[in-house]
Structures are given as C-alpha cells and as structure tokens.
Amino acid sequence: MKRLCWSTLAVIFLGLVGSTAQAGPNANGALLVHVDDSIVFSDGMSYVGLSDRNCVDDFNCPINDEACSQQSKIATSTKGSGSTDETTVWWVLAAFPPASCPRVSGITFGVGWGTGPNDVTIVDYGTCGDGLEIPSDEWPNNFGNGTAVTWSSARRAHLIEVYWFAGYASYGPIQFTLGPHFTQGGNFADDNVPSALDPITYYAKLGLGGAQGEILHDPTPVQEKSWGSIKRIFGSETN
C-alpha cells in the first residue's frame, strides 16, 4: 500500500487542486456500502475484488455495463446477523448514474459513527485503488477522519470498489457513516491535469450490531436532493 502525507499531495495528485466550477464526468456520483453475510473475516486477508460489486472498465461512452451496474440496486447496508462483537467485512462502492461516463482517478472521503470514538472497532482495512493512498493520522480508527484513494489509470465503470473495512459494533447497534473528508471534503477526481473535481452527492450508512443501514442517504445540507430526484438519477430507489 502506497501512502504519502497531505503535504506532498498537491505535487503528486494534482486532481485535488483542480476545478469544481463545472460538472465533470463524475457528477452525481454516490458512495454506497455493501456487506455480504457469507464473507467470513480472516486475519491478514485482502478483500479487494470480493464484493461482487465491481464493474469492469469500459472505454466506450456511453458505458455498456448494465448487467454489472444493476448490482448497485441490491447492495445491502445492514449486517444480517445483527450481533455485537462479530467482525463484519464491508465495502465502500462508488456508483454513478446509468447515462454517465465516469472517469475516476481519485476520491476523498471520510468516516464516522455514533457519538463516541470507540463505538466501532476497526480490525482491518484496505484501499481498492492501485495508486497512492493518502490517509489522515490514525486512519481509520480516529473517529471522523478521512483518506484519499487513487488509481494509476482512470476507472471507467458505473460501480467501483473504493475501500474495504473489517470491524464490529463495540457496544450495541450503531451506524458506520460515510461522509466528506474532514479537511479535504468529499470529491471524485477525473484524469485531467489538473483534475476536475465533482462532489460526492450521496453518502450511505452501514448498520452494525443490529442497526439499520441506509443507502443513498445524503446528510449534507448543501445538497438539495429529494428521494424523487435520487430515483430519477439512479433509476430506482436503492435499499
């Protein structure tokens, strides 16, 4: 795993100092979560590519990955067993509207949960990007922090694995929440130099320890999107 500090980011990952003035190819992108109850955590194992929710790149536009991208509609955000202290593996997925032609070279996002820093215990994690990762200090165990994930060449698909985590609810039902990076915001970067930045429009929540998860839930007040507009963009309500 390649890691750098944020002070070198502007030199190596120019996308994060790009423009957000106009919508780029990654506009209206969402961050989903997916958990598969059949996956059993094993210490030291990488879970990259095991979500069954990672579309193959298509260099045509429009992208022809309908069979794969439909998997976003059955992504699940609630651990079925609902037990506390049982280690769960879950994935963060980037999802884009069917008519779009995404070109994802990087992403910044953050995580949080509940009201206490120890409400969720993360036992393992990893990036699904093959480029640089630039995490904040103590990522991801420091409540409310974030990371940047990059790819060596742009991902061109409607459903993309971004990250995986393994962890559990420490005390009882809790939601593991995706959101903007606490200093860098939440954005998708394309493969231009400098990159065009498109804000992440929706953030999902994972339910652990018996909590109910949420898909395509947007907690940020700057985004004025209703459930109706969400369904129009993505084709149907995801649950």
- Local confidence pLDDT in tens for the 239 residues of the chain: 444 444 434 433 444 445 555 789 999 999 999 998 889 999 999 999 999 888 999 988 888 887 777 776 667 777 765 667 789 999 999 999 988 999 999 999 999 887 677 789 999 999 999 999 999 988 998 777 899 999 999 999 999 999 999 999 988 888 999 999 988 999 999 999 999 999 999 999 999 988 888 876 333 233 334 434 444 444 444 44
- On whether residue 144 sits in a domain, the answer given is yes
- On whether residue 158 sits in a domain, the answer given is yes
- Find the DSSP H helices in the chain: 9-12, 66-69, 227-234
- On whether residue 169 sits in a domain, the answer given is yes
122 in Cβ contact with 135 (< 8 Å): no
Residues 235, 36: Cα–Cα separation, whole Å: 23
- On whether residue 98 sits in a domain, the answer given is yes
- Domain total of the chain: 1
- On whether residue 239 sits in a domain, the answer given is no
Q: Write out the residue range of the structural domain in which residue 79 sits.
A: 2-234
CATH number of the domain within which 125 lies = 2.60.40.680
Tokens standing for residue 9? 């980011």
- On whether residue 57 sits in a domain, the answer given is yes
> Whole-structure pTM over 0.85, yes or no?
no
Torsion region of 6: left, alpha or beta (phi above 0 gives left; psi -120 to 50 gives alpha): alpha
- On whether residue 196 sits in a domain, the answer given is yes
Residue 82 has a pLDDT of 60
- On whether residue 24 sits in a domain, the answer given is yes
